[in-house]
Amino acid sequence: MDSDKFSIIVPTRNRKKQLIELIETINLEDKNLNELIIVDSSDKSIEFELVSINKKISYFFTDIRSASIQRNIGVKQISSHSRYVFFLDDDVKPDSDYFNSLLSTIKQSKAIGASGIALEPTLNSRTRNFRFISILKKLFLLDSKIGGSLLKSAVNIPVQGNLKAGVNLYSTDWLIGCSVWDANVFSKINFPSNFFGQSLGEDVLFSARASKFGELVVNSNIVLQHNMSNVERPNKIDHYKMWIRNRFIISKELKLSKLNIMYHWANLGAFLNIILNIPRKPSESLNSIRGLFLGYITIRQIDDN
């Protein structure tokens, strides 16, 4: 492995426009970039259009609709010369210094994985809560002031919540999906194979697995614009179904609380929070509740297995 060589892996599905816009932001002539690996589960292959852009682009088409499994497919294609591996979502916009800044962070900190902060176009819901709702969420382990933490409820808190003056590097429990990793970690662990669709939480479980082999750090000076495309984005029913199911898998594997008590406690809090929102958003709230209950059906199936 060469010390500064890296690969980039992007799982995608039916987001051709966003994917091409992402590729246009990446300097494919960077001498340290070995390859840009696209793993696509779209309805139609666009291999010819992408590989004609640059010889460093490798395209893999799959009928497996799982961002988590698509990441694993990409990992299997990594060049043996790559010392580091970046993961990107297809709807983000890295600036020109993004890759070099993260490489400097992971090398200087000697961490096994590193990330920056992803900014979304809408205000983070954690910063606009009424005081009562904020207290309720903290009581039910749905929120915390400690950014970068993974709570006993299997709820993960982003670093935005604990920025300190003069501090930009944080040791954390988990990393966002858009992150860089020491390539050696992939000989030890992989992304969960039972997370489907957009695979909500696959970054959390992978990070927790990786933390056994080294430190995870977030550099708050590195900001990645996440445009949150609506294409293939799950509705409220599917979102909460995934949130219930995948957090259960995380809680169970990591043994975050005895009999997963804190996981169920947080789900009760989420249900109460949704109930409080019914007067303002009746249709959205009812769909969220439906997703919660459908999620509980799936975790019973997991327990049975």
For range 222-241, the mean pLDDT: 94
Q: How would residue 77 be classed by pLDDT, with cut points 50, 70 and 90?
A: very high
Q: How would residue 123 be classed by pLDDT, with cut points 50, 70 and 90?
A: very low
Give the pLDDT confidence score for residue 131 in this predicted structure.
82
Q: 264: number of CA atoms within 13 Å, CB side?
A: 9
Cβ–Cβ < 8 Å for 57, 38 = yes
Give the pLDDT confidence score for residue 125 in this predicted structure.
47
Which residue type sits at 172? Answer: T
The helix (H) or strand (E) run that includes residue 117 is strand 113-119
pLDDT at 300 over 90: no
Cβ–Cβ < 8 Å for 216, 173 = yes
Cβ–Cβ < 8 Å for 45, 141 = no
**Dihedral of CA 99/120/36/24: which sign?**
negative
Q: How many Cβ atoms are within 10 Å of 110's Cβ, its own excluded?
A: 10
Q: Which residue in 119, 118, 121, 116 sits closest to 99, CA to CA?
A: 116
d(C-alpha 34, C-alpha 7), whole Å: 5
Q: How would residue 302 be classed by pLDDT, with cut points 50, 70 and 90?
A: confident
pLDDT at 2 over 80: no
Residues 261-293: pLDDT tens digits? 999 999 999 999 999 999 999 999 999 999 999
Residues 170-193: pLDDT tens digits? 999 999 999 999 999 999 999 999
Give the pLDDT confidence score for residue 304 in this predicted structure.
57
Which residue type sits at 140? Answer: F
Q: Which residue in 150, 249, 151 sits closest to 202, CA to CA?
A: 249
Structure-model confidence comparison of residues 124 and 100, the more confident one: 100
d(C-alpha 26, C-alpha 36), whole Å: 9
Name the DSSP letter for residue 156.
B
Which residue type sits at 221? Answer: N
Structure-model confidence comparison of residues 251 and 2, the more confident one: 251
Residues 155-173: pLDDT tens digits? 999 997 556 666 799 999 9
Residue in the block written with tokens 């947080």: 266
Q: How would residue 132 be classed by pLDDT, with cut points 50, 70 and 90?
A: confident
d(C-alpha 102, C-alpha 219), whole Å: 8
Q: How would residue 127 be classed by pLDDT, with cut points 50, 70 and 90?
A: very low
Provide the b/e sequence for 18-39 (b: ≥16 CB within 10 Å): bbebbbeebeeeeebbbbbbbb
Could you give the angle at which helices 282-304 and 236-254 cross, rounded to 10 degrees?
40
Give the pLDDT confidence score for residue 194 in this predicted structure.
94
d(C-alpha 253, C-alpha 206), whole Å: 11
Give the pLDDT confidence score for residue 130 in this predicted structure.
73
d(C-alpha 83, C-alpha 2), whole Å: 6
Among 175-184, 250-259, 294-303, whose mean pLDDT is lowest?
294-303
Q: Which residue in 201, 212, 208, 302 sits closest to 256, CA to CA?
A: 208
pLDDT at 28 over 50: yes
Residues 197-219: pLDDT tens digits? 999 999 999 999 999 999 999 99
Cβ–Cβ < 8 Å for 259, 202 = no
